[in-house]
Structure 1
Amino acid sequence: MDSNGNYLFKVLVVGCCAAGKTCCIRKAVSNQFTTEYKTTIGVDFAAKTIKLRIKDKDVNVCIQFWDIAGQEYYSQLSRAYYKGAYGCFIVSDLTSDSLCQDIKTWKDEVKSKVMLPSSDEPVPTILLCNKIDLPKAKDIWERDETRQQIDSLQMDEVIATSAVTGQGLDEAMTLMAKKIIAKLEGKPQSGLSPIVIPLDEPEMQVKPKSCC
């Protein structure tokens, strides 16, 4: 952390195909949403800078999203993409018949392969239960059975989100930034040192080629 409080953190965005990963990123970064669906191939990138107040000091955090393809075909490539990550969003589709199994699959994937750089500690992982704007999804989210099943998976945080309305996305990014910084506190700078960026570094825009 420099005297101006500027950070850049690589954060993974994973989940099954069509869960809405790229749509959530696009909404969070550029406040855009499209119903056009194109599958992400390999990995896409985007970034957004948020401002936090931590311990009476203003902190600027640039979150660099790595949008990882959800298809099984690309799972063999994922380990290379995971390297250097400081956090992970798991995006799930609330309307999926295999909701809890999908979440568990990705949680196990992240837990087994993604550690903080130069560390054996797991990265902060936040679950985004997406498509809450849909009546069916909202009904499923509000069921006690659903919440109990999700709670049993012991995610760091669980947030209901919508790539259409933007619900929960700002909250998720703020929580992620705070959790990463909390993890870094007290760690040797040689082992866990985030990249420092200039205050006026322009944000990258999400690529228009894919949305989910």
Structure 2
Amino acid sequence: MAGITWHYVLKFIITGDAGVGKSSLLIRLTDQRFLANPDPTLGVEFGSKLIKIPDEEKIVKLQCWDTAGTESFRSITRSYYRGAAGCLLVYDVTSRASFIHAQSWLDDVREHADPHLTCILIGNKVDLCEDEMEGSTSRRREVSADEAEKWAKKEGMLFLEASAKSGRNVESAFEQASRDILHKIKGGVFDDDRSPGVKLSKSNGGVALDHVSNKQGCCS
């Protein structure tokens, strides 16, 4: 599909507690693979991918910043929130603590990111609950989809449950958030090229519609 260019570059951040699978979600998006035991993120890591939003007839380039989930890096990761147009707020469905802490991460994002940012709440690791029903693991679900969805709705967020291991809903999460951002652009909420997290493509060259992986560590 050479010759296809992207229409917008959208800045995303991925945030939440350490160990909820943020890096695994990013690797699944960019590389279509599952890394069972990724090294802890030190500061931030970066990945990018082109995705097509068919109903909008748009191709967007996602620039995703995976932020560390430990308090010691919080001052560093906050600086990457600035100007973000989209956010994946991630918790682990088998860890109630990570869901409770999501409020603190959301407060941080809303304080430092673009005020019109689109946030999607992601309940990761649903595969562990499915495995449990088959008797292959002792991990139990601690947060119901209904409870998480109600909280997301109350806070004005989108919501999906996902699995970085199986790939379930990973790309869909980014597609839903990107579609919401595109709707905001249409409505004049984001001021196109004058919004830091939304850049109109100026490329005249062709870009193939394949995943682009530039994952790299920062502040390590």
TM-score range, shorter chain: 0.7 to 0.9
- Is the Cα–Cα contact under 8 Å of residues 20 and 98 in structure 2 kept in the other structure? no
- Is the Cα–Cα contact under 8 Å of residues 24 and 35 in structure 2 kept in the other structure? yes
Runs (4 or more) in structure 1 with deviation over 2 Å come to: 136-144, 146-155, 186-193, 201-204, 206-210
- Is the Cα–Cα contact under 8 Å of residues 25 and 206 in structure 1 kept in the other structure? no
Which residue identity does 1:39 align to in structure 2?
P
Per the TM alignment, residue 20 of structure 1 is displaced from its structure 2 partner at its CA by 0.3
Q: C-alpha separation between the residues in 2 aligned to 1:126 and 1:53? A: 20
In structure 2, the partner of 1:53 is: 54
Q: TM-score, normalised by structure 2?
A: 0.79
Q: C-alpha separation between the residues in 2 aligned to 1:108 and 1:131? A: 23
Which residue identity does 2:104 align to in structure 1?
T
Q: C-alpha separation between the residues in 1 aligned to 2:12 and 2:108? A: 15
Q: C-alpha separation between the residues in 2 aligned to 1:81 and 1:208? A: 15
Q: Does 1:77 align with 2:76?
A: yes
Q: Does 1:207 align with 2:215?
A: yes
**Secondary structure of residue in 2 paired with 1:38:** coil
Shifted more, 98-107 versus 41-50: the winner is: 98-107
Structure 1 residues 74, 30: closer, same or farther in 2, change over 3 A?
Answer: same
Q: C-alpha separation between the residues in 2 aligned to 1:91 and 1:36? A: 17
1:191 to 177, 187, 194: 194
Per the TM alignment, residue 17 of structure 1 is displaced from its structure 2 partner at its CA by 0.6
Q: C-alpha separation between the residues in 1 aligned to 2:34 and 2:5? A: 33
Residue by residue, what CA displacement relative to the aligned partner does 1:120-157 show, whole Å, maximum 9, x if unpaired?
A: x330000110000012677445475x347634652421
In structure 1, the partner of 2:119 is: 125
Q: C-alpha separation between the residues in 2 aligned to 1:207 and 1:123? A: 23
**Secondary structure of residue in 2 paired with 1:194:** strand
Per the TM alignment, residue 105 of structure 1 is displaced from its structure 2 partner at its CA by 1.1
RMSD between aligned residues: 2.8
Which residue identity does 1:63 align to in structure 2?
L
Structure 1 residues 13, 199: closer, same or farther in 2, change over 3 A?
Answer: farther
Q: C-alpha separation between the residues in 1 aligned to 2:109 and 2:9? A: 20
For structure 2, the residue ranges without an aligned partner over 5 or more in a row are 133-138
Q: C-alpha separation between the residues in 2 aligned to 1:18 and 1:204? A: 25
For structure 1, the residue ranges without an aligned partner over 5 or more in a row are 116-120
Whose helix fraction is larger, Structure 1's or Structure 2's?
A: 2
